[in-house]
Amino acid sequence: MTIETFDPKAGNQQQPQVSMTESAMAHVRKLLANSNAQGVRIGVKKSGCSGFKYEIEFVTTPLAEDTCFQVTDDIALYVPTEYLAMVEGTEVDFTTEGLNSTIKFNNPNAKDLCGCGESFSV
């Protein structure tokens, strides 16, 4: 497993490959508080009308093929190495619109999104 950290106060550093907004961090903190998980894994699988779909799962034991992005002291994002190129530069967000709340992925690599927002292509 590879671990990458990001210090926004340090100058001239490369941006992390995967990041989270404040609202996403607050949401994940709530979810992690009610589990014994160490963090959250972001995966990708073939699905949907555009080709790929994000998968999110709690991580109790990191896998050898995971790259860990230590977002904050208490939040770790794990990405299987095989999907790093697909999610590079992605910002994970949590939004509420009316009565609906959802996790959104702002992925600069996504060339096409399906109409319902469930899948993407790169």
**What's the chain's average pLDDT?**
80
pLDDT (mean) for 8-32: 76
pLDDT greater at residue 12 or residue 71: 71
pLDDT band at 24 (very low <50, low <70, confident <90, very high): very high
| Amino acid (1-letter code) at residue 24 | A
Task: Compute the Cα dihedral for 82, 85, 88, 91 and give only its sign.
Answer: negative
Whether 69 shows a pLDDT value over 70: the answer reads yes
Whether 41 shows a pLDDT value over 80: the answer reads yes
| 92: CATH | 2.60.300.12
Q: How many angstroms separate the CA atoms of 30 and 35, rounded? A: 9
Structural domains in the chain (count): 1
* Structural domain boundaries enclosing 61: 2-8+15-121
12, two tokens: 């001239």
Contact 42, 120 (CB under 8 A): no
Q: How many angstroms separate the CA atoms of 81 and 7, rounded? A: 22
Q: What's the whole-model pTM score?
A: 0.75
Residue 97: how many other CB atoms lie within 10 Å:
7
